[in-house]
Structure 1
């Protein structure tokens, strides 16, 4: 082979290699002028016309449906939910919830067992009917025969918080008012639970409290063990505008 022929073969091979390296089909008309695989760069993505939805939504108050939730006062961030087993039941379950901006409502105490009125629940409470009123009510004042256990609520220590006799099951009532939180049903908030002013009239009852359990149903109050009453009193914070949401399960869920 002559030198000229050998040189021609080398040049031809180099040209073929160059064509293969650049692509025999020529440039891709859809390709960007910028190398999308170059280090430190990324392919441009079209903007989405709609923002992505949040991954989590704040949790609503558990067991409480839209009708009852609509009754929560603006700014309320603490709710004691008292759930009756049935409309005619005198036993209930109590959970304290607090609201957080990102999480929504979450339980901070309970569940605790409780008693309520002997004949269950009513949405039209009257004096002496032995039913506990259904609804959403403020928790603004506390008191008791025993000294303040450390609550942030206004607390009235008074020997007038005394009771004697027996309950509907023959159980002793003594000590039931050692600790009390007034439920703002037919009363004036900002006064001692002992205040007997009844804005709705005497016929609509009053003196509906959360108090120490005596192991039996109540006239209309909600009752918790002494330990749980202390825990409730030290947890309630007037800055969170606490309320009680109470009634039978089926009604609360509406």
Structure 2
């Protein structure tokens, strides 16, 4: 893993990296993510259609190594994590990263509808929303309801026909809310906005103080060591450096 840097990434960059990560979550690693953000024309990237990602080429002007540093910053600051699939390290969202990404994906759907309506497009085939992530879909419907705008009702009615029971119930309640011109719950909107704002601050990496299972002493597990262990897919050490060294010496018959 690249050397940790403490330089804060801009909010737009954080969002761009999360959006690109969403294309390969639990299916690709740091290098593939960096290639999407770099705008690589590599065969694998194109075959997987990753060049269609909205943030493809976001860091086009930077070297691949620099993009990797930014991804490692995202991992170090609790936006992304690494999970091993066999021996392969895959990128996954942390709770923090997922909260931000789900919110911006819901906004993405809403912006798409706004554009279609502005262009006078007829209702699209709403099957494109079926089997999408349930959390994002329900959040999308919340955001539609919070607009108070009845222009969305024709699309909602078409959607209601094709989706599953739980989603249909939420669509119906959203339609009823818009038709009744119900007051918008600004407190809920503000609460979610503040939560996203806090999440975007990230969590600075710090050394951990662990307790040795063998001698009971506390020992420091540095940020650099945490990154190395995560890169290799190792679990955090259960023994302090002295006990680990002693254990290795015993293994090779060197301890008296």
Q: TM-score range by the shorter chain?
A: under 0.3
Q: Which has the larger radius of gyration?
A: 1
More helix by share: 2
